Chains A and B, each alone.
Chain A
Amino acid sequence: EPEVTQTPSHQVTQMGQEVILRCVPISNHLYFYWYRQILGQKVEFLVSFYNNEISEKSEIFDDQFSVERPDGSNFTLKIRSTKLEDSAMYFCASSGGLAAQETQYFGPGTRLLVL
């Protein structure tokens, strides 16, 4: 069964460093998303991406964050200058259509720890 994959599974970085989290969505999906979950808290929406542009973003997704689909398969989340409060589990998701109509399938997550 097709699935969303994410690398790395764990990342430890120093405050102020740049990190890139990678995702390979399900191959025929058109909509891509990033969410995060701070330990013990709700899963929070960060950004959605369709047709090579951001379609929606939350207030969390500030200028320090960016997303890219550099080729036909990868979808990346970059944090330019990490802060302690960026420590969280980051989930990538994809769907075949708009979330309003379709299931979003999640990857296993990348656990980011900022020291």
Chain B
Amino acid sequence: SQQGEEDPQALSIQEGENATMNCSYKTSINNLQWYRQNSGRGLVHLILIRSNEREKHSGRLRVTLDTSKKSSSLLITASRAADTASYFCATVRGSNYKLTFGKGTLLTVNP
């Protein structure tokens, strides 16, 4: 089964607006992590939320986790052109070692 399916696939907003990206998964998880990837570059870790947590904040980022719906959302407030990137959710199941990534949301913030 596929884990970590993000939507929308692409999102285009104006600078200053908020951006919300969603992630759904199919099996129970231990934690869920969000990463950012600038075009053709490495993956930058943004935030980790554990299965017993419902919400976490880090700067302009807010992540929620609803384990009953098997979904998570990433909110970026007051977006900037520099936030333009692909955003991926990745899940960890049980005591496994691996991250299972979704296909990502391409966010474009227009100045």
Interface residues of A (CB under 8 A from B): 31, 33, 35, 41-45, 48, 50, 55-56, 58, 89, 91, 93, 98-101, 103-109, 111
The distance in angstroms between the C-alpha atoms of A41 and B43, with both chains bound, is: 14
B45 within 8 A of A: yes
Interface size on B, residues (CB 8 A): 25
Q: Across the interface, do A48 and B97 meet the contact criterion of CB distance under 8 Å?
A: yes
The distance in angstroms between the C-alpha atoms of A35 and B45, with both chains bound, is: 15
Q: What's the least CB distance linking A48 to chain B, in Å?
A: 4
Q: Across the interface, do A99 and B42 meet the contact criterion of CB distance under 8 Å?
A: no
The dominant DSSP class at the A interface is strand
Q: What's the least CB distance linking A42 to chain B, in Å?
A: 5
Contacts of B90 in A (CB 8 A): 43
Q: Across the interface, do B97 and A103 meet the contact criterion of CB distance under 8 Å?
A: no
Contacts of B97 in A (CB 8 A): 31, 33, 48, 50, 55-56, 98-100
Decide: A43 near B88, CB < 8 A? Known: A56-B96, A99-B96: yes
The distance in angstroms between the C-alpha atoms of A45 and B85, with both chains bound, is: 21
Stretch of B11-19, B20-28, B30-38, B67-75 with 4 or more beta carbons under 8 angstroms from chain A: B30-38
